[in-house]
Amino acid sequence: MKLIICKAVVKFYIFSFLLLFNFLAMPQNAVNADSVIEAVKYLDNDNEITEKTDLLISELYILPIPQARELSAKILDEARSMNNKTLYILALIHSYRLNDYNSNIVNLNKAVALASADEKPKLLAAAYTFKAIIFRDNGIYDSAMTYALMAQDLIEEMNDDESKTGILQLIADMHFHAGEYENAEKLYIRIQAEEPGHYDRFNYRIIQNNLGLIKIKQKKYAEAELRFKNSLGHFAKIKANHADSSGIPYLFRKFMELYILMGDYARAESYFENGYKLSRYFNQDTEKAGLLIGKSKILLHQGKIDSALKVIREAEIWENKFPDLGYKTEINKILAEIYRNLRDFEKANEFLSMYSDLMVKQDSISNRARLMHIYAAHNYAITLRQLDNYKLQRNLSAIIAVLVFMGLIVNSVYFVRIRRKNRMLMEKNLQLAYKNEVIPFNTGKSAEAEPSYDPAEEQTETFKTESDKKQREPGEKVLSMITERLNEMIENEKVYLDSDLTLSILAEKLSTNKTYLLKAIQKKYNMNFLDFINGYRINEAIRIIDSEEGKNLSIEGIATLSGFSNRVTFSKIFKDATGVSPAYFIKNLDSIRDAE
């Protein structure tokens, strides 16, 4: 039995040595990034540009973190200067392992905005995917699931089978982190079956690792060990680089934790020693707290209480630098056990209480994550429906906007035409108003009689017989004399300015009768008495409006001075005669005079 154990240990050390040699001997910067960037500037072929761009982005994963940060900043500067938006967006997305949470969110928001504006669905899906990863890793599970579903929809629209398995794996990982192990395991197995060339991809290791962790939760340690060995064997069969720098220390830590659970402390310690060396070499400080927690458990098992306390305090320092709830929970549990062994029960109880609280918090987070996944999926479905409704409303709004715009155009054209017509009417009315021989307006109808005048007067001279009518019919000479005297009185005395003027009064002034006067007006001007008088009054009103005196008068004042008894009658007859209202005429008179 001892011989079998010794062979296993020797075999482990040989394998670990080969793995370490593979990493330590690898080239650190095989690609000259500067020359690749220069090449991208002058390439015209899209395929060559894509190839060089992919090469640059892959360097962000291959290089150690300090050099990768420098390269990321350089790519962003150069991409901005040569207006290569695709390279710029890719650098924003794939620099996520180099930055903290806030910087990552800022970069990814920029990437989302640029990819959306330039209509680059593949880059937009990538930005959504990495936002989901960042949110998932920081416990914001509802946002993580929402962005994962958004990315999945875009990928399905593009019919991108390769990316489809990637987003499916992300969703499986989210189920895993939420403690939904059954759902996660089903998706991982599906991905293994559906992803083309699955074994040749780094995803193979991620899935094997997570399946191993699921088996640990199910207390199936032998199956977990097999999954971890599959992952480790995959590392040994590829040319390793810094893109795998987080994978090796992580996997060694998982082996260590598994063997502690199995009670194989010798193998657990071997994995700790090699894992810690690799974490230092690759600057994977995030793994150090977990590795030191395992080491303290080993020391506790060996009865080295003081050493265990020293190591766990070091783990606490690293956990403070890179906060992790799981690590913090384990640290408090170990500290409680250490102080219990040191017989310091007060401190032991203090740490035990903190451990208990953190366990409740962990369970609460897992439960919350599960609920948030359900809510996120539900809310996302609602959002999609709302988006469809919004698109429908937007289309309807666009149609309404077009109709309103067309209506405005029609109204504008109509308004311009009406304005032009009114302008012509005003110009004509002004010309008529200033003629030496006054030509009265013909309003076409006497819409409203003056209060002082009864239109029935025109009908009072009713002849009882046809012979009476003929006997009193005036001759042409008589009518001509009446018309001549009427024009003289109109021009010299402006009798039309008398608002009480009637047919009878005017006939008396002319020393004739109403019948003869009416016949004369009808024959000469083809209008009735009221339209004849009002035509002169409108001429007078226009001249008043156009005078300096008129600028200080109200419409009612203008009506009175031009012979009308009230504003209402004046406004109606003015519009019938000129085609525009008095107010419009007054308002637009200056523009007409300026144009002249």
- Provide the 3-class DSSP secondary structure of residue 152: helix
Q: With helix as H, strand as E and coil as C, how does 308-353 read?
A: HHHHHHHHHHHHHHCCCHHHHHHHHHHHHHHHHHCCCHHHHHHHHH
Compute CA distances 216 → 186, 257, 258, whole Å.
Answer: 16, 10, 8
CA distance 205 to 193: 15
Q: With helix as H, strand as E and coil as C, how does 484-540 read?
A: HHHHHHHHHHCHHHCCCCCHHHHHHHCCCCHHHHHHHHHHHHCCCHHHHHHHHHHHH
Count other C-beta atoms under 10 Å from residue 152's C-beta.
Answer: 22
Give start-end residues of each CATH 1.10.10.60 domain in the chain: 455-595
Residue 564 above 50 pLDDT? yes
Is residue 40 within 8 A of residue 53, CB to CB? The reply is: yes
- Provide the 3-class DSSP secondary structure of residue 247: helix
CA distance 491 to 80: 86
Predicted confidence at residue 371, as pLDDT, reads: 53
Nearest to 187 by CA among 157, 152, 158, 219: 152
Report the range out of 387-396, 398-407, 452-461 with the highest average pLDDT. Answer: 398-407
Count other C-beta atoms under 10 Å from residue 551's C-beta.
Answer: 12
CA distance 596 to 592: 6
Q: What does the pLDDT look like over 441-468, one tens digit per residue? A: 555 444 333 334 444 444 444 444 444 4
Q: What are the residues whose beta carbons fall under 8 Å from the beta carbon of 453, sequence distance 6 or more? A: 501, 502, 503, 529, 530
Instruction: Give the class (CATH, top level) of 455-595.
Output: mainly alpha
Residue that has been written with the tokens 């429906």 in this structure? 385
Q: With helix as H, strand as E and coil as C, how does 35-102 read?
A: HHHHHHHHCCCHHHHHHHHHHHHHHHHHCCHHHHHHHHHHHHHHHHHCCCHHHHHHHHHHCHHHCCHH
Predicted confidence at residue 211, as pLDDT, reads: 93
Residue 118 DSSP symbol: T
Averaged pLDDT, 154-182: 82
Nearest to 592 by CA among 413, 417, 440, 431: 431
Count other C-beta atoms under 10 Å from residue 286's C-beta.
Answer: 17
CA distance 419 to 579: 11
Q: What is the pTM of this model?
A: 0.49
Compute CA distances 202 → 199, 470, 550, whole Å.
Answer: 8, 123, 94
CA distance 322 to 589: 81
Cα 363 versus chain centre, distance:
37
Residue 14 above 60 pLDDT? no
Residue 92 above 80 pLDDT? yes
Q: What does the pLDDT look like over 25-77, one tens digit per residue? A: 444 444 566 777 766 665 655 566 677 778 778 888 778 888 888 888 888 88
Report the range of poorest mean pLDDT among 131-145, 227-241, 346-360: 227-241
CA distance 83 to 224: 49
Is residue 541 within 8 A of residue 570, CB to CB? The reply is: yes
Q: What are the residues whose beta carbons fall under 8 Å from the beta carbon of 13, sequence distance 6 or more? A: 270
Confidence of residue 17 (pLDDT cuts 50, 70, 90): very low
Is residue 105 within 8 A of residue 132, CB to CB? The reply is: no
Count other C-beta atoms under 10 Å from residue 60's C-beta.
Answer: 25
Q: What does the pLDDT look like over 219-264, one tens digit per residue? A: 999 999 999 999 888 877 766 555 555 678 889 999 999 999 999 9
